[in-house]
Amino acid sequence: MMKSVSTIVASVMCALLFLPGCDGSHSLKDEYEVRSTELSLSAAGGEQTVRVLNREGKPFGKAWSLFNVTIPDTLNKCGTTKFVDDEALRIDTLADGTCRASGNWYSFAISKDRRQVQVKLAPNRTGHERKVIFHGVSSIDQTFSIYVKQQP
């Protein structure tokens, strides 16, 4: 009799611990997905820092890395996107542990703790809008992007 009472108590305790996750207000999907971000900078260039957050707006605590950088062809009416050539994209690890992915006019600096990405753009003297997209991928194959556009 005593064993069955302790089994029932243990079962009830497990159920109570499980119930808060079943109310629909919290989704594991939200916790493990990273929020994509859009930035717009003036033709003068400058920098902005993006915090890497999950869908709930909390810091994304899982491992992730740079997947690639793409540049949409804004002059092409078809809206094609091209991958940045290896020669144009430089990836460096700085002395403080920051990883930097940069091209001729843009730079993405990933903090050592991977909680933020600093975006820097050089002045735009092309007369056309420029765009660059940073793509990251998490350890659980969830992708996210930082869409950056710069005014002419």
Is pLDDT at 111 greater than 60 in this prediction? yes
How many domains would you assign to the chain?
1
Residue carrying structure tokens 């062809």? 73
CATH at 45: 2.60.40.10
- The range of the structural domain enclosing residue 41 comes to 33-150
Position 132 in a domain: yes
pLDDT tens-place string over residues 113-149: 988 999 999 999 999 999 999 988 887 777 889 999 9
pLDDT tens-place string over residues 76-108: 566 666 666 556 889 999 999 999 999 999 999
> Cβ–Cβ contacts within 10 Å for residue 130, how many?
20
Tokens of 129: 């809008």
Position 5 in a domain: no
Position 22 in a domain: no
Distance of alpha carbon 33 from alpha carbon 56, whole angstroms: 9
Answer yes or no: pTM beyond 0.85. Answer: no
